[in-house]
Amino acid sequence: MYSEKLEEFRGAVNQSLANATSPRRDEMAVLATVLWYWRVRELLRPMLGNSPTPYAIERYLEPEGFGRTQFNEVFRRRKWDKYAVGLHQPSKTTVNKVEAMVPGSAGILRHPVWEILRQPDRVLEKKESWLGRLAPDIQRIVFANESKLSMRKALTSPDINEKHLQQLEVRAGFDSVACLAILLAENIYSYDGNNAIHISDSLYRALLVSCAFDSYLLMAGYLFECFRDRLLNQVVVDDMRLDLDTVDFSESAFLLCRELWKLMGDSKIGWSREDRARAGARMLRGKFGFDAMWGLSLLHVPVASNSKNFHKATKEYERARKLHDWGLHNLRNGIVGNIPPHDIW
């Protein structure tokens, strides 16, 4: 029954995406609308129960949309059924009205991440304003204070080091994802991909942790495709590219979500969103065993067969692929906390 509903949901979202062909209604508008619906649904759970339906949400937020025909039959607009699959976008009036009743719901619709994905080539023009709209803890990581000028200036992507990347990953959410997307776009369009592989890996991990939450899980694959098509597939550094063709991002998000629930059930981590995000980021870096670190990793593929390093790079890729397949097999079977066998190392 669940699988049938899931396929029905995906079919409806796919249809909405197929119909999104105008500048005012594009792929990002569809995804933002669906995520807005799920955010509203999540915030209304204390009032409407764990699984409020579009009917219940519409009845609660817009009771004026219900009425009776001349034959005394109940009717409703079914606006929220359409929002649930991105078939229609909410008007500004509706968004503001819902935000007043459900504070915190509008943020996902107004998030700069959608602008970044639409216009990554305008990163030099927009970078400072995009970063300025992110959470203060994200801004503290990427803005450096210019004490002599009494002002702050954003770090450039080549200045970003491993410490910065880890700080952004443990704060996994749309703000950290947007920040990493800005840095990657800047690196691609202004610095010839000098630091692009490392930033891409970090963006991938932050997006994966962000999607390992119930309200984003169903949309994980769609979100990944947006980042893949607009940013990640442009990364080619030192004759290496990201192995994006073999990624099943939806499965990866599900497996990570399941492991985080296990950790919460075993009281190894707290139940807050911050605890889960921090644990997810650390899990992808080997904190709870190497299974997730390798099984959910993004591989790098050599692309230039005439390169002098091609043979060595191919050997490294084959080894990484074996480690990836080993870790993924363990995760699929609920086995975590292991060290790879010696024949793979």
- State the Cα–Cα distance between residues 84 and 48, nearest whole angstrom: 16
Tokens describing residue 75: 């009717």
- 94 assigned to some structural domain: yes
- 43 assigned to some structural domain: yes
Number of domains in the chain: 1
Query: In sequence order, which residues have a C-beta less than 8 Å from that of residue 49 and are 6 or more positions away?
Result: 56
Q: Which residues of the chain have pLDDT under 50?
A: 1
Q: What angle do CA 303, 308, 311 make, to 5 degrees?
A: 65
Phi first, then psi, for residue 223 (nearest 5°) are -65, -45
What's the pLDDT score for residue 320? Answer: 94
Question: At 29, which amino acid appears?
Answer: A
- State the Cα–Cα distance between residues 41 and 60, nearest whole angstrom: 11
* Residue environment code for 209-221, b if the CB has 16+ CB neighbours within 10 A, otherwise e: bbbbbebbbbbbb
- Chain centre distance of CA 278: 15
- 159 assigned to some structural domain: no
Residue 267: DSSP 8-state: T
Domain around 63: 13-109
Give the three-state DSSP class for 76: strand
What's the pLDDT score for residue 82? Answer: 94
- 335 assigned to some structural domain: no
- 63 assigned to some structural domain: yes
- 68 assigned to some structural domain: yes
- 251 assigned to some structural domain: no
- Chain centre distance of CA 33: 15
pTM for the whole thing? 0.91
What's the pLDDT score for residue 1? Answer: 43
Give the three-state DSSP class for 89: coil
Tokens describing residue 54: 């579009």
Q: Tell me the pLDDT tens digit for each residue of 169-227.
A: 999 899 999 999 999 999 998 877 778 999 999 999 999 999 998 778 899 999 999 99
- 331 assigned to some structural domain: no
CB atoms within 10 A of CB 123: 21
What's the pLDDT score for residue 195? Answer: 85
What's the pLDDT score for residue 297? Answer: 95
- State the Cα–Cα distance between residues 311 and 238, nearest whole angstrom: 14
